[in-house]
Chains A and B, each alone.
Chain A
Amino acid sequence: SQQGEEDPQALSIQEGENATMNCSYKTSINNLQWYRQNSGRGLVHLILIRSNEREKHSGRLRVTLDTSKKSSSLLITASRAADTASYFCATDNYGQNFVFGPGTRLSVLP
């Protein structure tokens, strides 16, 4: 299975701190995406990183990809209470459909 696995499963930090979540996968990928989900709502796309890219930034988000280790990380800097949500990685294996990991539940305490 190419399923992504995020860790940690849950993360609790104070507002203003940085949050780092990791994703590991098992097979070669075309791209890897990160999504966010507020409780009981739909998922929102955050960022896509292609297999030939090593790092991408979007606002307070920084994503890295290490294809040799089959892993990715999502860093949220200067976290806010509104960042409280579940974060998922999804891998795309060259046209096969996206497979999501179980997610990391992030709690940002004011």
Chain B
Amino acid sequence: ETGVTQTPRHLVMGMTNKKSLKCEQHLGHNAMYWYKQSAKKPLELMFVYSLEERVENNSVPSRFSPECPNSSHLFLHLHTLQPEDSALYLCASSQDNTGELFFGEGSRLTVL
């Protein structure tokens, strides 16, 4: 148990669906991250929130929409995804954006 909880752990959706991934951290950290992990590719940083403000958005398509309502919660809203978006989506948190990252177990997304 790392103190970072992601739900759901598995999600299957069609290309026209709208769904959301949720991340919650119980560590009192002030930075939260979304990473995408595809087969045979390095982890890709998608979004960073520091003190609830988005500080990085690495050219992620608009069909991915993050939301950080408070320092403990992070969402990734998904709509009209493509099959190539199928991947493991990992949430992480840290105290400041230069310290150790604490990862959740990930949400395995399959887009049909």
B4, B43, B100: the one contacting A48 at CB < 8 Å is B100
Known: A40-B88, A44-B2. A97 touches B45 (CB 8 A): yes
State whether A44 touches B100 (Cβ < 8 A). no
State whether A97 touches B56 (Cβ < 8 A). yes
Residues of B within 8 A of A43 (CB): 43, 90, 92, 101, 103
Number of interface residues of B (CB under 8 A): 26
Number of interface residues of A (CB under 8 A): 23
State whether B103 touches A44 (Cβ < 8 A). yes
Residues of B within 8 A of A45 (CB): 100-102
A102 to B35, alpha carbons, bound, how many Å? 13
Residues of A within 8 A of B99 (CB): 48
Residues of B within 8 A of A98 (CB): 45, 101
Find the residue from A31, A48, A97 having the highest chain B CB count within 10 A.
A97
Cβ of B66 under 8 Å from chain A = no
Residues of A within 8 A of B97 (CB): 95, 97
A45 to B94, alpha carbons, bound, how many Å? 11
In chain A, positions 55-102 with a C-beta closer than 8 Å to chain B are: 88, 90, 92, 95, 97-102
Closest to B88 in A: A40
Closest to A48 in B: B100
State whether B98 touches A92 (Cβ < 8 A). yes
Q: Which residues does B use to contact A, with CB under 8 Å?
A: 2, 4, 6, 33, 35, 40-43, 45, 48, 56, 88, 90, 92, 97-106, 108
Q: Which residues does A use to contact B, with CB under 8 Å?
A: 3, 30-31, 33, 35, 40-45, 48, 88, 90, 92, 95, 97-103
